[in-house]
A and B are shown apart, each in its own frame.
Chain A
Amino acid sequence: MSLLQIHEPGQTPLPHAKKSIAVGIDLGTTNSLVAVSENNKPLVLRDAQGRGLVPSAVLYQAGSMHVGEVARAALQDHPERVVVSIKRLMGRGAEDVMRVADQLQYELDTSSGGMVRVKVGGRVLTPVEISGHILEELRGRAERTLNREVRQAVITVPAHFDDGARTATKDAAKLAGLQVLRLVNEPTAAALAYGLDKGAQGTYAVYDLGGGTFDVSVLRLEMGVFQVLATGGHVQLGGDDFDRAVAEHFLIDRTRMFGAEKLTSPDIRRAMAVARQAREHLTEHETGSWPLDLAGRLTWHSLDQATLNALIAPKVEQTIAIARGVLADAKLDAAELNGIVLVGGATRTPLVRRRVAEFFGRPPLTDIDPDEVVALGAALQAEALTRGSDALLLDVTPLSLGLETMGGLVEKVVPRNTPIPVSLAQEFTTYQDGQTAMAIHVLQGERELVSENRSLARFELHGIPPMTAGAARIRVLFSVDADGLLTVSAEEITTGTRQQVAVKPSYGLSDSEMAEMLRASIEHAKDDMTERLLREARVDAERLLLAIDGALRADGDLLADGERREIDRQMQELRRVMAGTDRTPILDGVDALNTATETFAARRMDRGIQQALAGVSVSALADRLVAGEGTRPPGAAK
């Protein structure tokens, strides 16, 4: 047929390869989503059951892994094999994690220093790899649903995610085979979804309370340009904290009944899962009660909305205080805003909606599903970046960036809420006569003391000509690109000596670690496939051997001595190769044994027919057949 295909000159036909498409991904603490936009119409991609949310949970089993509902369901029975809320560990160093260790439900491996690793289902994985597995699943869902290749994405991150967490997110995407077109702040993506749909103009606040992170941002929408005026938040504040408060409430109930219980981390995870069900139920209902099966004891716990509100009120008030601070940063009063956008599943909580409405003095906008609005905005941005669009997104630095100066103090170079991209320089000098080198310590945060801020990187500027203290002029340049990623360079002005670092946080992945992981993930994919094929071959062989054993016991007399010896030999040979790890001799052995037993099988069939004709009861024959079936190993039947 291909001979009949005629093309226009200069046109290259690609009949099967549809053009690849860029997607928007909301990589959430609790749930993730993938969406795509065409002609400015964004759409969340759903599974066969119509579910758009993919739980950000990964189940690790020997030789396989599952992301999403399956993994979240497995949390109840195999919590030790499931990782949830991994976003909380993105870009975190072992030291950071120790600080919040009591809140974490993972088993951690901090022995290797630097980046923290999670022990799960017999594996030791970095948060980057685990997030990569979630992204891979989302990419797969998009490719299956759209029947197109997906290689590029806009991924959303909490507005005040620091440099380390942003870099970690980009690395995870790389592991999942995705090129990040742009990291977009979640509140910005939400405003994008609202703004473009409605052509809104004015100043908006976005209140985003997700599973593990809280953000509030003030944005101005004007002439199709989204400008972030101020942003703030908390990386460890979200719906998970509500769940924790509820779980603790339940566990205190049990302590009253049984005294102090010794609970394992899987127990606590189970309690958290039940607490989450309770909280979600109370969004729509006044009261309810839930079973908790821990340490071999089942208890029932009831909870009503008033008690839930009392339990979570401190956390809700914390979000309101942060919102107040961000408004002050934006130099705005609540009354000057044109609207409030709600984002994140936890904003369904009635107390949250009430307090937000009270604080901002108006009911929040909820037209778009708060779980989906961020992914929809990300999809719009992905389309804008690949296909072009009139909208433009101007973002700001979420946290101040600075340098350590004498006395352990921080000198801010780029204040928070500075529009990006930005390049700002500051001059420093030496403090000792004849000083020829200077340590540059890059920090992120709002505090005055070095020890209270996030350390991003350290490097040294050498080759400063010896001068009296204070005479040298060192110009340090901070450049933040449109993704919010930082590069720092230092230069001694009189001599032009220059050093530069792209800031890779000390607890992040080095390029070589990253390369190693990519290589390992590709090889493991191959290993996993080889392993599965080997197992299938072994199962087939085992099934054949069992069937022949049964046949020999029943009808072994049909064989001559020589024939019997040959079959025995072949069976022995097959059993020997089955113990090995090479699949080919097993397949060969199965073929050989099938050939060797052909005559035997034919004779057995003849005997069966003769016996049937000779008046053997049908039921006896059936019994024999059933016995034959029963020798098959469970699950091996095809």
Chain B
Amino acid sequence: MAACWSCSGTVDRDGLFCESCGALQPPRLADHFARLGVPAAFDIAVPALERRYFELQRRIHPDRFAARLPNEREYSQQHAANLNDALQTLKSPVRRAEYLLALKGRPMRGSGQETVDDEEILVHAMEMREALAEAATPAAADAVVADARGQAERVTKELVTAFAANDLAGAARLTLRLKYLDKFVEDARERRRP
């Protein structure tokens, strides 16, 4: 661990504060999982993640440093922005999966594999959209959306398995499916807005 910028003392386990002088340290942690203190895996509990996020925000939020040195204020701004980005990324299964794939050296965009799957997934998505458009009553529409939600849950479970087995190609395919399902549920919700 690097030494404190202010007194060259030892920096604490979280990499946030100096154990000797208490000064806030510049952000050093490499990724969102490390920032929120969880292992870099797909299977994480969101409530625990949020608790950890609140705990850390309480310690490093810029409001805590309103009366401190300019560089500490700057660091707290960076820490808080990183934490916000980390929580937003890891909270959503799709974004968490995408982020994890990128960390493991298999980013989603630009690989040929998904284009083939795209067509499969597109056809499926179009079928669901037709089902939604054809739903005669609000209850029927809700049923279509509920079905999509059920599918999303199943895909999320499959993602856990795929990541656990380090099957990155499979995980990438599942991530894309989940992305389409999420978008479908979101659009359906949007449509119900007056």
Using a CB–CB cutoff of 8 Å, the interface residues on chain A facing chain B are 181-182, 222-225, 321, 324-325, 328, 331, 384-386, 390, 392-394, 418-424, 479, 481-482
One of B77, B84, B190, B193 near A418 (C-beta < 8 A): B84
Q: Assuming A223-B54, A225-B54, is B66 touching A181 (CB within 8 A)?
A: yes
Q: Which residues of A contact B61 (CB under 8 A)?
A: 392, 394, 482
Q: Which residues of B contact A225 (CB under 8 A)?
A: 54, 57-58
Contact A325 B58, beta carbon cutoff 8 Å? no
B31 an interface residue at 8 Å Cβ cutoff? no
Q: How far is the CA of A3 from the CA of B9 in the complex (A)?
A: 46
Q: Which of B64, B77, B87, B190 has the most CB of A within 10 A?
A: B77
Q: How far is the CA of A421 from the CA of B84 in the complex (A)?
A: 7
**B 56-97 contacts with A by CB, 8 A:** 57-58, 61-64, 66-67, 77-78, 80-82, 84-85, 87-88
Q: Which residues of B contact A386 (CB under 8 A)?
A: 66-67
Q: How far is the CA of A392 from the CA of B82 in the complex (A)?
A: 17
Q: Which residues of B contact A385 (CB under 8 A)?
A: 63, 66-67
Q: Which residues of A contact B106 (CB under 8 A)?
A: none
The residue of chain A having its C-beta at the shortest distance from the C-beta of B84 within the complex is: A419
Contact B85 A482, beta carbon cutoff 8 Å? no
Q: Assuming A225-B54, A482-B80, is B63 touching A424 (CB within 8 A)?
A: no
Q: How far is the CA of A418 from the CA of B88 in the complex (A)?
A: 8
Q: How far is the CA of A479 from the CA of B64 in the complex (A)?
A: 19
B194 an interface residue at 8 Å Cβ cutoff? yes
Contact A482 B77, beta carbon cutoff 8 Å? yes
Q: Which residues of B contact A325 (CB under 8 A)?
A: 193-194
Given A418-B88, A424-B85, 6 further pairs, Cβ under 8 A: A325-B193, A392-B54, A392-B57, A423-B78, A482-B61, A482-B77
Number of A-B contacts (CB under 8 A): 63
Contact B81 A422, beta carbon cutoff 8 Å? yes
Q: Tell me the minimal C-beta distance from A544 to chain B in angstroms.
A: 56
Q: Assuming A386-B67, A482-B77, is B58 touching A392 (CB within 8 A)?
A: yes
Q: Assuming A419-B87, A423-B81, A482-B63, is B57 touching A324 (CB within 8 A)?
A: no
Q: Which residues of A contact B54 (CB under 8 A)?
A: 222-223, 225, 392
The main secondary structure of chain A at its interface with chain B is mixed
Q: Which residues of A contact B85 (CB under 8 A)?
A: 422-424
Q: How far is the CA of A95 from the CA of B102 in the complex (A)?
A: 46
B189 an interface residue at 8 Å Cβ cutoff? yes
Q: Which residues of B contact A384 (CB under 8 A)?
A: 63
B183 an interface residue at 8 Å Cβ cutoff? no
Q: Which residues of B contact A390 (CB under 8 A)?
A: 58
Q: Which residues of A contact B189 (CB under 8 A)?
A: 328, 331
B124 an interface residue at 8 Å Cβ cutoff? no
One of B66, B192, B194 near A182 (C-beta < 8 A): B66
**Can you list 10 A-B pairs with a CB-CB distance of less than 8 A?**
A182-B63, A222-B54, A325-B193, A328-B190, A385-B67, A394-B61, A421-B84, A423-B78, A424-B85, A481-B77
Q: Which residues of A contact B84 (CB under 8 A)?
A: 418-422
B154 an interface residue at 8 Å Cβ cutoff? no
Q: Which residues of A contact B51 (CB under 8 A)?
A: 223
Q: How far is the CA of A224 from the CA of B193 in the complex (A)?
A: 32
Q: Which residues of A contact B192 (CB under 8 A)?
A: 328
Q: Which of B67, B190, B192 has the most CB of A within 10 A?
A: B67
The residue of chain B having its C-beta at the shortest distance from the C-beta of A227 within the complex is: B54
Q: Tell me the minimal C-beta distance from B73 to chain A in angstroms.
A: 10
